Amino acid sequence: MPRIDTPALDTATGASAEVFGQIKKAVGSVPNTFAAIGFAAPAALKAVLAADGVLAAGSLSKADQETIKLLVSATVGCDYCVAAHSLIGKLAGLSPEALRHIRRGEPTGDARRDALIRFVSLLAGTSGTIERAEYDAIRAAGYTDTQLVEISLAIATTTFTNVFNRINDTAIDFPAVN
């Protein structure tokens, strides 16, 4: 049961109503996590959506973005975001088998994707500066310095929604993950 009061969307006014309208126009509905964030702090929701807009206009593929978001969500145990990014990852072209491997942090058989999984797992599961060899490995897989910035942004936005959903116990409104 969600912990943060989330009124019905049709009662939203002001900044909340504005951002909900933008989300509905873009994707057709407002996911529960965005509704809860948007009612409590519409500026925070706008910031997350703006960061996602930067990612969408960036050079990482949608499949790479969803690999990052799904892996980070699975690593921290955010069941809401695991469900969301499993569906979005499927829509981005990731196979059900690849999605299962990503959720487990396992190789998928795609060398470039596997390098990304290894790199993101390292960043999400350790602290401190990464070793030069890890930087060299992700670069050797074909990721540019610009994409490393985008990987960092994808991790940051996902961490925000993961933490929020863990606080809120947001009701999952995406298909179950199997």
pLDDT value of position 13? 94
Q: Are 36 and 6 in contact (CB under 8 A)?
A: yes
Q: Each residue of 36-90: pLDDT tens digit?
A: 999 999 999 999 999 999 999 999 999 999 999 999 999 999 999 999 999 999 9
Mean pLDDT, rounded, for 88-115? 97
Is pLDDT above 90 for 130? yes
Is pLDDT above 80 for 101? yes
Q: Are 45 and 91 in contact (CB under 8 A)?
A: no
Q: Is residue 155 part of a domain?
A: yes
Q: Where in the sequence is the domain holding 146, given as residue range(s)?
A: 62-159
In three-state secondary structure terms, 60 is: coil
Q: Is residue 7 part of a domain?
A: no
Region at 141 (left for phi over 0; alpha for psi -120 to 50; beta for the rest)? alpha
On the CB side of 79, CA atoms within 13 Å amount to 11
Q: Is residue 47 part of a domain?
A: no
- State the CATH number of the domain containing residue 121: 1.20.1290.10
Q: Is residue 40 part of a domain?
A: no
pLDDT value of position 132? 97
Q: Is residue 89 part of a domain?
A: yes
pLDDT value of position 86? 98
Closest CA to 7 of 24, 20, 23, 22: 20
pLDDT over 70 percentage in the chain: 100
Contacts of residue 174, Cβ cutoff 8 Å, sequence gap at least 6: 31, 80, 83, 84, 86, 87
pLDDT value of position 94? 98
Q: Is residue 66 part of a domain?
A: yes
Is pLDDT above 90 for 1? no
pLDDT value of position 61? 98
Q: Is residue 15 part of a domain?
A: no
Q: How many domains does the chain have?
A: 1
CA distance 110 to 94: 11
84-to-11, 15, 73, 88, 176 alpha-carbon distances in Å: 25, 25, 10, 6, 9
Model's pTM, two decimal places?
0.95
